[in-house]
Each structure stands twice: as structure tokens, then as C-alpha cells.
Amino acid sequence: MAIHELTAFDGLSTSARRDGVRAAPLSFYDLINFLRRNARLIVMSMVLGLLIGILYVAKTPSSYEASARLVIDPEQSRILSQDAATGTVIIEAAEIASQVEIVKSEAIAANVIHSLGLLDDPEIINASSWYGSLKQMLASAGNFVFGGTGSSETPQAEEERMRRTMEGFLSRVSVRRVGQSYVLEIGYRSGDPVKAARTANALAEAYIRNGMNDRAAAARQGALWLEGRLMEVGQKAREAALAAEQYRNEHDITAMANATTLDQQQLSELSSQMLEARAATADASAKLSTLTELIATNPADANLPELASNPQLMKLREELRLAETKLVGLTERYSAGNPAIAAAGAEIARIQSNLIGELRQVEALYRSNLETAKSRQALAEQQFANANRKGADKNIARVELAEIESRASTYRQLYETTLQQVVGALQTQSFPLGKARIVTAATEPLTRVWPKPSVILPFSVVLGAAFGLFAAVGHQAMDRRAGSGERLQRELGLASLGHVPTYRDEGAAGSETEGLSPNLLPLRAVLDTPYSEFSEALRSVKNSLDSLLPADGSMIIGITSVGSGEGKTTIATNLAQLYQNEGESVLLVDADFISARLTRLVYNAAPDFAIKPIATTMLGEPGEGATVSRLPRAHRYPERMVIDHDPVHDDEETAVPVPLLTAEQTRRLAVAPYRYGHLPALKETLAKLRSQYKLIIVDMSGFEESADTRSICSHVDGVVLVIGDSRRLTIERLTDALKTFGRSRISLLGVISNRSRTGTVRRAAFTGGLLG
């Protein structure tokens, strides 16, 4: 495949631009463009969906739904539980859901069907699902092919009819819980509003009646079982009480008023005395230890409660304090060794000796108290041990007696509980109470629930729009045509230079176009209809090319197409006329050596198209003696079939003619012996003329079928690809055509979509997206 290398006019290479385009995310403009392209399909799908919805609303029979509400009594069922941590009452949703399923059970349905006589109701029997209808059709076809009668025995037919009726009946029943309450809403859907209300009320009553019957039957069975259980438990309770009393008498265990024995009371009193004796011993020991430690360390600071009340100790401490104070005063006045200081020290020693002697007497008293406390403790412990040994033989008997009494008490409680349950079961059996009651009876509905136009019609429109979008996406994915310039830019990285619509003769041309073939009128469209849609689109293409032209210097642009008939010559001619009539220095080159259409036109009708051959002097040829052209004349000038000179233009021309380097002039510049000498001659001529013109437009033949074009593309500064019918050209064909360049390096400036639809051109002009 050819390497599309964009020149540095815009600072980016073609490969970099293509990578950037492919990596760019889907933009809002792409989405809008996609919706605009497929707006007709989407709108048609929406209209079709709306029509189908209207037809469905018109043909579908009306359906009414009546609802009855009943409340479940939480006191009569296990609907409440309590959180052990917080004590919060919790509604058991599982129990409510169970009641919902009971309402929709086959037992309730059978009861209502028999009570209302719905077994032969045509509304229920004839209503079936698509699966049932298909099954019935297959069964009928099988009976017809194999000769079956389709009948069965009477019991099987009755059972099958009942099951079909029940299936259709339950499909019309709806039961739901109202919020988080105990209320259940029972609904029934039917084509008759009166039947719907009657059936809903019958369902509620059947549910209540079924609950009452279940409770009565359960109460009868429970009462029979509880009566036998009560007799058994009573017998066991009486036997346990007798065994406890007999065991107490055998072991001489006497119970007091407070449920304790005499031995236990005596043992408790001895234990209390022993604890008091131990506490007194510990207190005396602590006092003696403290006083002994104070005498050994600092007798003057001995501070015990008993010492504080001793007057002799208080007197000695006061004398000691005064003697120490006196010694301090003498020491400050006299020097060491003074007799007064010695006398004061001797007095202090005497007082301390007397204080210690007094404390020793107190210590002897504390030691005597400690011995007395130890004696009392030993006596109390001995008495407790004797009492404990005396009652040890009865402890085992007491434990066994406690076990027997506990068993007797348990049987007594069980007997009382069973007796209460028997009484409750008998009351329930006599007066059964329902656990639900009707709070709102079903009434005749006033409006239908289906079909609802407010729901079906918008849904049909949305469904149609979705189908249209899916169809558009599928068509977009499967369509491999080149389509718009955005697709070429997205998939191949080819920039779009603009969209040119199909030329239409608007009748605005003057006498200059009289007698011209309609096929030739587009070649001078920008001159005849300067403000037509075709001309405005070409001017937009020119603006896109202007952004690629260098500020200083010239540029050679080649215009080609994949095949012939794409309109490249029309594009090249009109672009050259635009630049010429804006005062730009432009040259048009006919490099289509296969058809040489511009060369034929310039020699046959040059004044009509504002084109004239370039002067031979600019090509380095002599002005006289030009060779005769071998190109035939058009039928408009049958009197002259060949031209042996350059055409002479009248002075009355209204447009400045565009200079044209014809294919014949290029061939004359080639070296005579070489058959393909026109290619190097064209290359040399373009290099010579680019210094005289700012822009040179080279009209080439289709590169898919012409090796000359593929060669010339490598000699120009940029190539513009014209696609005449992008709706027929596929991406694969364009890719294969580009592969014909081989390893040649070309500069592909962009793509011009010729003969585009009017809407595409207007959108491109509005968005300003002509330059890719």
C-alpha cells in the first residue's frame, strides 16, 4: 500500500493525522451526524411502533381489576417476634409471604371456582398463553395427521378441564402486601367489572373461612392429644411428691419455716463466731507488730489510738520536745563541750529511756491481748469442726432430697401448663376465631387497568425508536461504502476537503452557453452561477486548499480519482477558474493522456470555457511553425477538424481565461524517439513553470487504471482525491486502489466528495468541517 505522507504545510504527517483521528473518541458531532443520516429510518420506525400500539389498544379487550383488603390479626398468628437485645418488636416478613402464597393456593382457587360456578366460564377457559396456544395447535395438527380423535376418558377430561380452569383463574389473581403493614390486597382481573368485584370478595372470604376451618381442626386434634398428656403428667407429679415426703421422713430431715434445717442454722452461727475470732486475732497481731516496729525505729513518733489516750506517754513526749528545743538554743549560743549543752543532752537521754520503758509496758499488754484472741479463735474453730462433722452424714441425704423435690416441682408446673392448654384448645374448638378479617370489600371498578393508552403508546414509540436505532447501527456496521468524508477520515485517515453537490442547470447562464451540450455546462459553473449551491461548495473546497498553500512559494496540486467519470476534470477546471478570477496566478495542466478532455475542449471551444493554451514561448518553443495537432474537433465546429495554430480569443470575453498546459503540448516537448517521453517532459515542464505560477492544478486520469497518474503523483506537491459516488465506492475498493501505488511516496491532501446529496453539503458547510 502507498505511504500517504502529508507535507509539512500544516505541521502534521498523514500517518500521524490518521492515528490521531482513529484514536479520537466518538464526539457529540458524530452522534448528531449519525442521527441525521438515519433520521428517516428512525422516524419511520417510531411511526410504525405508534401504529402498532394504536392497533393493539383498539383490538385488545378491556380488562378491569377489583381489589379487596383484609388484615391479619398479629395476636392470632406468629407474625411478631422480639429482639432479645433491644426488645424491639419485629414483623416476620416470611410469615406474611406465606399467607400471600396461601391466598394464591389451589385449594382456595378450587373453592372459589366451585362456589361461583367458574368451571365453564368461557373467559377463563378460552384465555391461554402463547405456549398453550402453540401446544394446542401442535396437538390438533398431530390428530389431523395421525387420525386421532383428540378425546379421552371422562375422568381425565374433567381433571384436565379443572386444571386448565385453575391455571387461567390463578393467572388473573394478584395478592400483595400493603407496605409494611398486616394488610393484604387481593385483586382479580376480568373483562366484566361486576365479576371482578364478586370474585375478589369470594377469594377473601374463602381465605378467612379456610383459616377458621384449619384452626378448628387443629384445635380438635390438639385437645385429644393434650387430654392424654394431662393424665400422664398428673400421675407423674403425684408420684414425685410422695417420693420426696417419704425420703424426708426416712432421713429425719426437718424443714423450718424459712425452708432450712436446724443443723444448717446451728452451723451458720458457729461459722459466724469463728470468723469474728479470726478477725480479733488478726487485729491484735497487727497492733503488736506495729508497736514493736515503732519502738525499734522511732519511739517518739509512735502513734496508735491506745497510745494517744495514755497521759504518761503524752507527758514524756512533751518533756522530750521541750528538752530538744532547749538543746537547740544552747547549741546556738555556746560552743561544743559546754557543761550546759552536756546537761541538756543527758536530760534528753533520760526522757527517751523513760518513754521506751512506758512503750514496753504497752507492748506487753498488746502481747497478752494477742494470746487471748488466739485462744478464742482455736475454740471457735474446734466447735465449727465438730458441728460440721456431725452434719456431714445428712448432706448427701439433703442433696438427694433436693433432686427429688425439684423433679416433683417440675411435674407440677408441667401439669398446670398442660391444663391451661387443654382449656384453651376446648375454647378454640367451641368458638373458632379467624386470624384475618376484611377491612375493605371489593367494589365494581370504574376504569380499566389494561390496555392503557398512556403507557402503551409511549412505549410503542420508544420501542420503535429503539428498533430504528438498532437497524441504523446494524446498517452502519454492515455498510462498507465510503459514505461521507467522516467515514473516510475515521477508517482510512483521509481528510475531507469538502462536499460538492450534483450540478443542476438553473437557467442563469447567458448567451455564452447557447449551443453547448448540457454535459459541458458544469465546466463553467462558477462563471455562470457564481452563487449557486454548486459554486458555493467549490468555494468552500478552495478555502480548504488555501489553508494548505504555503505563504511564500508555489505549489503543484494533482487532482485524480479512483476511476473515470468521477468529475475530477470538472472540479479541477472550476477550481482553476476560481483562483484565476480572484487574481491568483494559476495554471491548469491536462495530464490525462488517456482522454485529454481539457485539451479537446481548449482546441474546439476555448472561449466558451474561459480556457486558453499556455503560450509556447513560455515552454521554450518557437512561436511559429508549430506542428499540427492530431486531436479531432468537436461536432460543434464540424468545419474544422484539426487546428494548426493556437486559438485566437475575441476581445469581448467576459472572464479572464485560465492558461492551460495541454496534453498535446506536453507530448511535443517529449523527445521524439521515446513512446513514454511525455512523463519526464511533464516533470521538467512543471519544475520550470512553478516559478511563474503560485498554484498549478494538474488534472490526471484515474490512478486505478493509469500508471501515468501513479507516476505523476510522485512529482506533485500534493494530491487531491475526487470521489464521484461515495455511496457506491466501498472502503475495500479504495484501499485496494491505494495499494496500486506500491512503495511510492505521495502526499495525499484530502478527499473531495463530488455529487453529494444536498443535505450532506449543507451540514458540512454549517459545521465548518470541510477541512479534515
Asked if 634 and 604 count as a contact pair (C-beta separation under 8 A), the reply is yes
pLDDT (tens digit, 9 = 90+) per residue, 129-169? Answer: 545 555 666 666 666 666 555 444 444 477 888 888 888 88
Residue 76, number of CB atoms within 10 A of its CB: 13
Q: What is the mean pLDDT of residues 605-632?
A: 63
pLDDT (tens digit, 9 = 90+) per residue, 238-271? Answer: 888 888 788 777 776 665 544 455 566 777 787 8
Q: What is the mean pLDDT of residues 503-515?
A: 62
Tell me the C-alpha distance between 442 and 427, whole Å: 33
* Bridge partner list, 751: 496, 721
**Cα angle for residues 471, 474, 475 (degrees, 5° grid):** 85
Tell me the C-alpha distance between 534 and 523, whole Å: 11
pLDDT reported for residue 766: 36
pLDDT reported for residue 301: 61
String of DSSP letters for 127-148: ---HHHHHHHHHHHHHHHHHT-
Highest mean pLDDT: which range of 17-21, 279-283, 419-423, 539-543 = 539-543
pLDDT (tens digit, 9 = 90+) per residue, 575-588? Answer: 999 999 888 899 99
Tell me the C-alpha distance between 568 and 583, whole Å: 23
Q: What percent of the chain has pLDDT over 70?
A: 74
Nearest residue to 667 (alpha-carbon basis) of 619, 624, 615: 619
Q: In whole angstroms, how far apart are CA 526 and each of 41, 379, 538, 574, 737?
A: 36, 142, 8, 6, 31
Asked if 495 and 772 count as a contact pair (C-beta separation under 8 A), the reply is yes
Angle between helices 758-767 and 28-37 (to 10 degrees): 160
C-alpha cell at 485: 468524508
3-15+488-767 fold: Rossmann fold (3.40.50)
State the pairing for strand pair 718-723/748-756.
Answer: parallel
pLDDT (tens digit, 9 = 90+) per residue, 362-418? Answer: 778 878 888 888 888 888 888 877 777 766 666 677 777 778 888 888 888 888 888
By CB neighbour count within 10 A (0-12 exposed, 13-18 middle, 19+ buried), where does 68 fall? buried
Answer whether residue 625 shows pLDDT above 80: no
Give the model's confidence band at 513: pLDDT under 50 very low, under 70 low, under 90 confident, else very high: low
* Residue predicted with more confidence, 42 or 257: 42
Nearest residue to 769 (alpha-carbon basis) of 36, 30, 37: 30
Q: What is the mean pLDDT of residues 596-617?
A: 81
Q: Give the rounded distance of the alpha carbon of 732 from its chain centre.
A: 38
Q: In whole angstroms, how far apart are CA 122 and each of 138, 262, 450?
A: 22, 90, 19
Nearest residue to 469 (alpha-carbon basis) of 60, 121, 111, 35: 35
Asked if 586 and 580 count as a contact pair (C-beta separation under 8 A), the reply is yes
pLDDT (tens digit, 9 = 90+) per residue, 53-100? Answer: 999 888 888 888 999 999 887 654 444 455 555 555 455 677 788 888
Asked if 604 and 637 count as a contact pair (C-beta separation under 8 A), the reply is yes
pLDDT reported for residue 316: 75
Phi, psi of 704 (to 5 degrees): -70, -30
pLDDT reported for residue 433: 61
Answer whether residue 732 shows pLDDT above 80: no
Amino acid identity, position 371: E
Q: What is the mean pLDDT of residues 8-21?
A: 43
Tell me the C-alpha distance between 641 and 634, whole Å: 8
pLDDT reported for residue 480: 62
Per-domain residue ranges for the chain? Answer: 3-15+488-767, 271-430
Q: Please state the pTM of the whole predicted model.
A: 0.47
Answer whether residue 2 shows pLDDT above 50: no
State the pairing for strand pair 64-72/555-561.
Answer: unpaired
Alpha carbon distance, N-terminus to C-terminus of the chain: 22
Amino acid identity, position 244: A
Mean pLDDT of the chain: 76
